[in-house]
Amino acid sequence: MILACHNICKSFGTDVILKNASFHIQEHEKTALVGINGAGKTTLLRIIMGLEKSDEGEVTFARGTSVGYLAQMNMLSSGRSIYDEVCEVMRPVIDMEQSLRSMEEEMDHAEGTKLNELMERYHQTQTHFEQMGGYAWKSEISGILRGLGFTDDEFGKPVDTLSGGQKTRVALGKLLLSAPDLMLLDEPTNHLDMNSVEWLENYLLNYRGAVLVVAHDRYFLNKVVTKVVEIDQGHVSTFSGDYTAYSEKKKKLRQSQLHAWQNQQEQIRHQEEVIAKLKSFNREKSIRRAESREKMLDKIERLEKPSEEISDMHLTLDARIESGKDVLSASGLSKSFEFPLFENLDLEIRRGEKVALIGNNGTGKSTLLKILIGQMQPDRGSVTLGTNVNIGYYDQEHQILHPDKTLFEELQDTYPELNNTQIRNTLASFLFTGDDVFKLVSELSGGERGRLSLAKLMLSKSNFLILDEPTNHLDIMSREILEDAVSLYTGTVLCVSHDRWFINRIATRILDLTGQTLIEYLGNYDYYLEKHEDLTRRFVSADTHSSGGVISSSNVSHLAMSSASLAGTDSEGKADWKKQKQELALARKKQARLNETEEKIASKEERSRQIDDLLSQEEIFTNLQQVTALGKEKEQIDQELETLYDEWAELAQE
């Protein structure tokens, strides 16, 4: 065991973030840390690193463990180039290499004993140098930087001139090169393109150390991790397997917990009804029974209601009107800045299609989207929108949001037809409640800006959505909600995304912007992976168009399998129905007996009260014969009531 967290507790004011969080990581183990935004994932990583103190609990490392940490944002500032900054990690090896060169020069001029001493020292240093991988350090640095998406031309760029995302990639490169026994990675895939994410996946799979990673990329988690640590409402649970295995186990566990909680709530409600009924009898024995049941009820350990399967965010995308069949046509699009991005691109999008535009960082995907919506002009070419096309645009930089406006003003000014209640309800459906609606846009986090942009998109009722990295900064639950909304959307979609899971879920066609041109794949991301290498070599060929038949036959096979599965479960369904029918009949019989008993009790109690009234009348209590008869009747009623009370209690308990 390389790391153990034991009973970690952390609160910020009245907000409890972690409650007795305990888990451990074995040597060489790859573990995911998951939970919704705000669950406490980054806080837990910072506690492990000693950058933040826990209220209670302890973090223990195995003796001699080296630990490295990648934060979400890294503000490197050194004055060095990218290459030189990463080289600093290898400083001991570089210094050793320089020492070897110096000794080689000395040996050229040394003789006798001094030469022997130098040769002995040189041999020892050289052995140590080889053990530290000294002869491979230059190629290792170049390989890591290229893997993380830096070109050779960028190696000499000053770190101080880089964007925040580029600095984070440099920090990740330094961490990978340092190769600690345990790496803590907070959103390492955020600023990587698809090729770089795939490279990182393979790197971590072959990494000899242990890894604890926070990531929302479900493809990445499925490929890399073998264990999932989840933070849910402050509680930490551990699941073996990849993300899909965790998701399935979590769903079953949540259903089991919800079922147990609902059963307990039903039992509590039932017992409370029995107690109230016993008290209503207003007899000494029934009151004692009620008090006894109350004591038992107080001793029950109340189960906590499990969290909902999805968050409270509600997103419904509707097209206000139907567009024409041809939604967008682009012809001969070209764009260059310092170098050409793309040349002579042709693009056709038809109503109802969901098209994903993919490609490496810097190939011009966002630029192409801005040209299509008219925010930027191409160097050459034209764009034509179809009939009744109404575009809704989601900008990954959220530049369509006004930083000096409040959230309320942002919606009110964009949609003046909405009243205050409608605006507040919309913001609440995206988790902005109370005074949150009066926050300035400039004060929002990346995830909050994303949710606000989605709120505006939902209200737009557009029939052609153009989405630029819509899942950035969203947690997995929010991504799933967005996927559901886009999948059910009846309009047309063109999106840029690095989220392979999202693309696989929503895309009906993929366009890969590579080599300054577009390569078309008539399917989702799984299909893209299947055909990618071949089509990249040959670009668009006749085989591309024949792929439609492959997809169709796959769908037919899937439907056939589904039908067989349904047929196989038909007899089971009949058996379940018969069992449910029997259980329902028994429940009805029990309820009928319970109702009959209650009616008998009410009748006997009413007669008992009548006798009490009669015995208080002078003409009765002065008549010995009548008093005796009524006394015997009341005694008989009391005995029958005791029996009925017992019978009712037994029926109510069942």
Question: What percent of the chain is predicted at pLDDT more than 70?
Answer: 90
The model's confidence at residue 555, banded by pLDDT at 50, 70 and 90, is: very low
The pLDDT tens digits for 94-113 are: 888 888 888 888 888 877 88
Q: Please tell me the pTM assigned to this model.
A: 0.70
The pLDDT tens digits for 176-187 are: 999 999 999 999
CA R_g for the chain: 36
Q: Report CA 141 to chain centroid distance, whole Å.
A: 33
Q: What is the pLDDT of residue 193?
A: 87
The pLDDT tens digits for 38-85 are: 889 999 999 999 999 999 999 999 999 999 999 987 777 778 999 999
Alpha-carbon torsion, ordered 582, 586, 591, 596, to 10 deg: 130
The mean per-residue pLDDT over the stretch 599-604 comes to 84
Mean pLDDT for all residues in the chain: 84
- Name the amino acid, one letter, at 286: S
Q: What is the pLDDT of residue 552?
A: 29
Q: What is the pLDDT of residue 581?
A: 58
The pLDDT tens digits for 252-295 are: 887 888 888 888 888 888 888 888 888 888 888 788 888 888 88
DSSP code of 89?
A: G
- Which has the closest alpha carbon to 170: 207, 141, 132? 141
Q: What is the pLDDT of residue 308?
A: 58
- Name the amino acid, one letter, at 348: E
The mean per-residue pLDDT over the stretch 595-607 comes to 83
- pLDDT for residue 564 is more than 50: no
The model's confidence at residue 515, banded by pLDDT at 50, 70 and 90, is: confident
- pLDDT for residue 558 is more than 70: no
The model's confidence at residue 643, banded by pLDDT at 50, 70 and 90, is: confident
Instruction: Between 429 and 83, name the one with better pLDDT.
Output: 83
- pLDDT for residue 175 is more than 80: yes
Q: What is the pLDDT of residue 352?
A: 93
Q: Which residue has the tokens 């505006």?
A: 456
Q: Using CA atoms, how far apart are residues 113 and 413, in angstroms rounded to an integer?
A: 87
Q: What is the pLDDT of residue 531?
A: 83
The model's confidence at residue 546, banded by pLDDT at 50, 70 and 90, is: very low
- Which has the closest alpha carbon to 313: 450, 409, 214? 450
The pLDDT tens digits for 19-36 are: 999 999 999 999 999 998
Q: Using CA atoms, how far apart are residues 221 and 33, in angstroms rounded to an integer?
A: 10
- pLDDT for residue 576 is more than 60: no
Taken in order 458, 460, 463, 468, the sign of the CA dihedral is negative
- pLDDT for residue 504 is more than 80: yes
- pLDDT for residue 522 is more than 80: yes
The model's confidence at residue 314, banded by pLDDT at 50, 70 and 90, is: confident
Q: What is the pLDDT of residue 583?
A: 66
- Three-state SS at 448: helix
Q: What is the pLDDT of residue 266?
A: 85
Taken in order 405, 408, 411, 416, the sign of the CA dihedral is negative
- Three-state SS at 344: strand
Cβ–Cβ under 8 Å, residues 427 and 411: yes
Q: How many CB atoms lie within 10 A of CB 202?
A: 12
The backbone torsions φ and ψ at residue 640, rounded to the nearest 5 degrees and listed phi first, read -65, -40
Q: Using CA atoms, how far apart are residues 125 and 341, in angstroms rounded to an integer?
A: 49
List the single range of 4-13, 177-186, 218-227, 276-285 with lowest mean pLDDT: 276-285
- pLDDT for residue 650 is more than 80: no
The model's confidence at residue 250, banded by pLDDT at 50, 70 and 90, is: confident
- pLDDT for residue 561 is more than 60: no
- pLDDT for residue 408 is more than 80: yes
- pLDDT for residue 548 is more than 50: no
Q: What is the pLDDT of residue 77?
A: 79
Q: Using CA atoms, how far apart are residues 336 and 343, in angstroms rounded to an integer?
A: 9
- pLDDT for residue 397 is more than 80: no
The pLDDT tens digits for 145-168 are: 999 999 898 999 998 988 888 889
